[in-house]
Structure 1
Amino acid sequence: MNRDSSPPNLDTIPLKGVLNYLNLKERSVLRKVNRALREAVDSNCTTVSLNFDFCHSQFITLNLDDIEIVYCSDGVNQCEMLVYQKRKTVKSGYVETVKKDLGIYFKNPNTRITNLKLQWDYDTHLYEGLCQILETIFDELSQNGLGGLRVETLELYSYNGAQIARLLRLIDVNTINSLRLDTHVHLYDGDQFVNLPQWERVRDFQLVGSHFPHKIFNVLGNVTSFNIKHENGVDLEIIIEPIYLFVSTVLNPSENFQYGQITCGNIRLLDIPFPMLNTSRILGNVSVTIQRNTITMEKLL
């Protein structure tokens, strides 16, 4: 019995509907079958969450949705990859291998990075290595007329405003929507990134740190929501006046603002009367509620 071994006509198969049900690992396997399927996968719109951990000088960890890949140096121009506990050796430097794999997602105009988390353990040398990879991809995108890395949410672990700005400007201004920063300590040189066009497009902002970010308040007029987590305790009598001023001068005239929250390790009352807790005060078109560990601001309809 003769069987037709010719490949199926992909035009007659509802492949797009099938691809929508495949996870990232299944898509990766499918695109390796042949050129036609690779083109079909790459031309189908998809999203992916990406965690790029460059916290060691000898290896890089990449998380693509639920897939963890560890790239490490295995001799000169040789990379050992660990995927699902399976080892694979590639004849290429581990940094170059990471760059190539990242390029598959960043260079595909049909792929949107929903969340890009970048970590380098606050190490300047590792930060430079990470930037070299991303800036190379960015330059290639620019040469092809694309606006930058198509990322919706950028999540960074840095207290250095200049470092944040260098990475933020790589993001496509038409896709960025959310910026999340974990400074660990105090945010320095925040003015380095708040003047970028990407910052103007941010609608959701989150900041974690150990110092109260007074300067950031003045530039939150463009966001729809913000969440600031201050890990240490603060004296309410010291911060209450700046917050009321922030509400009156920034949030009241804002056309975008809807909701904001400041969370502290502990809000010390000192000379502030206890009845202020769990009560709301209306300042213009914004309601301000003070609780034991949070101050909530909400735009009134």
Structure 2
Amino acid sequence: MEQRFCGPEHVSAIIPVKDDPDGLARTLACLCRMVPISRPKAVIVVDDGSNDGGEGSRAVLERVDSGLFDLQLETLPVNRGPAAARNAGAARSLSDWLWFLDAGVSPSLGYLQFITSAGSNPAVAWTGPVEAEDTGPYSAYYRAQRVLSPPVDDRRMLTSVVTTSVVVARTAFFAIDGFDERFQRPAWEDIDFGLRLRAHGRINWLSSLIVRHAFQESESDFRARFERYGAGMWVFGDKWNCDMEPWPVTARTDDPFHHELAKVQYEATFKGWARNQAQQGPRGAGYEPK
């Protein structure tokens, strides 16, 4: 199932987006600035039921130089979640490699070129570090806690991925039936995907595959993010039949604000997990593994 990466001309970037034309514009602008030897052949944007019917996403695409890559837009009539949106984009792609990107992120301009240089090492996927943009105290906390770092085992080998930015072999993607659409919110669907993907081969990690993520500097967004993560943890635990009840968080930096945010992180994560548990019933009830 592992394959050698053979260049950006065999890559389709897939970007799910909902109600975020500014974030989409940011990511597309970054792809446009890439030199040809690092630019994907195609870019597929999947508008996941935005409240404006996808008009904001369409307007962003109309401002992009269509001569740089094959630019496509698919508009889903209702919001189905990023797992379903990524699957819809993958179904449209004809490329050997699928580059999943979140709207709003900025990958390094040589991202695909770096994989090409190391592509003699077969893999089912390639990924790298996610860095929080330096926008304020909340982003400093995300960086210190390494919130978006992919999980590793005791040998420092990747055991899963985060879909902020990951390049996946098409054959491996469809061998595991893509993302599990029962994860209807952006939380833990990528960990589930990566664990199933890892069973088919190596996930290669390169320090040069940097993608920058801009977080909002507000407590309301911080709480909403971790409530969403908590809800995803419940779905993950239900599917994998494991206890995912959130555990207290320890700040990695000895700073009063970081200690306070660690408490808020735990409270919000537990709230999201408990709400899902109350709505869905006991873990494992009527939920068959995929």
Which TM-score band applies after superposition, normalised by the shorter structure? Answer: under 0.3
Larger Rg: 1
More strand by share: 1
Higher relative contact order (CA 8 A, sep 6+): 2
